[in-house]
Amino acid sequence: MKKLASLLGVLALSLLLSAVAAFGLAPAAQAKEAKIGFAFSMTGGAAAYGATQKNGAQLALDEINAKAGADGIKLVALFDDDASTPQQGINVFNKFINADKVSVIMGPTLSNTAQVADRIAQQAGVPVLAISNTAQGITEIGDFIFRDSLTEAVVIPNTINTVKAKLGIKKVALLYGNDDAFTKAGYEAFKNALNQAGIQIMSEQTFAKGDRDFSPQLTQIKGMNPDAIVCSALVEEASGIVAQARQLGIAASVPIIGGNGFNSPALIKNAGQAAEGVIVGAAWNAASPLPLNKKFVEDYTKRYGVAPDQFAAQAHAGVYILNEAIKKAGDPNNRKAIRDAMTQVKDLDTVLGPFFFTPGRDAGSQPVVQVVKNGKFAVLGN
Ligand code: 1QQ
């Protein structure tokens, strides 16, 4: 009899537990949370970009989560370091997908990492939002891969045409890194844009990641007397190139024109005075008068003690884009529904402007051309 009573007790308890599981608090609370994995370069050659990406994302996460009301979905963020390398990017993606079971991934920082890591997410059916990959061939990996970063193929022709119109450049020397997906893509984009614009390419020279001495290439370039130096480099090498060009006596009247790799305050910090006059195409500039952007620049500066850069802005916008897609999907754990909802994001108010994806899942925003003036990226033209 006693045995029967305890058996009934166990039965009642397990019924109660399964009722809680079916209708109760625990799963309902879980269903209101969306896990997002953030893979940014916190160490390695691209750490300057990763640091501001994390800041921009964190600011947006806190804004969104502070507003999430009774029906709101809480965004749960998992940050990890892709170490600026493809191998570590793969490790982080695998962990996010299989161990953490995230609903969506933002990152990785470099195209060089994305071109391998994104394949894992595509195969697993996990949506990815790239916020700084600008090489070609990233969104082409598959229909789960999106980006809010403008490609070099969009930004660079605009940069070259603006520079041609404003500065009347006719002949340039071209210098690029030949061992990275982004620097190679930037080189191709520059070459095409220069050819299209009828600007003569006097020479093409290369360097590798980690190089510190660019004097052989720059000495040759100096001897050619170009109107400008066009350069596709990540920020570590870009900083050295800019500083050494001026040290070698290439006049400040010969502008250095860079791609997205130059688009970091780290360039200005590392190269100092030599960075003045550097021209960089971009997807965003701090001076954008959009009310949302003004608030972002203010809040970010207050929180972190420095002004945001484009990488912070793209990360901030990216979190809002994911939030919108997760809300539209209805179920924060349904990766496929989130992917489908991403394609429906339209006219979303972000710090990059009203945002939408092109049919190829790339960013639909407009580029701008910047010039370094008094230690800041100012607008040269649109
Ligand atoms: C890329 C880039 C880098 C310059 C920044 C992260 O645009 O790797 O695609």
Residue 3 alpha carbon to ligand 1 centre in Å: 68
Residue 89 alpha carbon to ligand 1 centre in Å: 14
Distances (CA, A) of 105 to 130, 221, 352: 8, 42, 20
DSSP 165-223: HHH---EEEEEEESSSHHHHHHHHHHHHHHHHHT-EEEEEEEE-TT----HHHHHHHHH
| Spatial contact of 233 and 205, defined as CB atoms under 8 Å apart | no
Q: Is 110 in the pocket of ligand 1 (CB under 6 A)?
A: yes
Which residue in 82, 88, 135 sits closest to 109, CA to CA? 82
For the record, the structure tokens of 268 come out as 């200005």
Tell me the pairing of strands 171-177 and 200-207. parallel
Check residue 72 and give its pLDDT. 80
Check residue 69 and give its pLDDT. 62
- How far apart are the C-alpha atoms of 175 and 228, rounded to whole Å? 11
Task: Output helix, strand, coil percentages for the chain, rounded to the nearest 5.
Answer: 50, 20, 30
Give ∠ CA 151-301-368 in degrees, rounded to 5: 25
Check residue 351 and give its pLDDT. 97
Q: Is 46 in the pocket of ligand 1 (CB under 6 A)?
A: yes
Q: Is 114 in the pocket of ligand 1 (CB under 6 A)?
A: no
Q: Is 243 in the pocket of ligand 1 (CB under 6 A)?
A: no
Does the domain at 32-150+289-365 match CATH 3.30.1330.30? Answer given as no
Q: Is 111 in the pocket of ligand 1 (CB under 6 A)?
A: yes
Q: Could you report the average pLDDT of every consecutive run of 10 residues in the chain (382 residues)?
A: 48 45 44 91 98 98 86 91 98 98 98 98 98 97 98 97 96 98 98 98 97 98 98 98 98 97 96 98 93 97 97 98 95 96 97 96 94 96 74
Which residue minimizes the CA distance to atom 9 of ligand 1?
Answer: 133
pTM of the complete model: 0.91
Residue 45 alpha carbon to ligand 1 centre in Å: 11
277-297: b (≥16 Cβ within 10 Å) or e: bbbbbbbbbbebeeebbeebb
Residue 113 alpha carbon to ligand 1 centre in Å: 10
Give ∠ CA 228-138-192 in degrees, rounded to 5: 30
Which residue in 95, 75, 71 sits closest to 34, CA to CA? 75
Distances (CA, A) of 319 to 8, 9, 29, 156, 179: 50, 48, 21, 26, 31
Which residue in 366, 367, 327 sits closest to 344, CA to CA? 327
Q: Is 285 in the pocket of ligand 1 (CB under 6 A)?
A: no
Q: Is 133 in the pocket of ligand 1 (CB under 6 A)?
A: yes
Check residue 70 and give its pLDDT. 58
Q: Is 293 in the pocket of ligand 1 (CB under 6 A)?
A: no
Residue 226 alpha carbon to ligand 1 centre in Å: 27
| CATH superfamily placement of domain 153-282 | Response regulator (3.40.50.2300)
Q: Is 132 in the pocket of ligand 1 (CB under 6 A)?
A: yes
Q: Is 308 in the pocket of ligand 1 (CB under 6 A)?
A: no
- Tell me where in the chain the CATH 3.40.50.2300 domain(s) lie: 32-150+289-365, 153-282
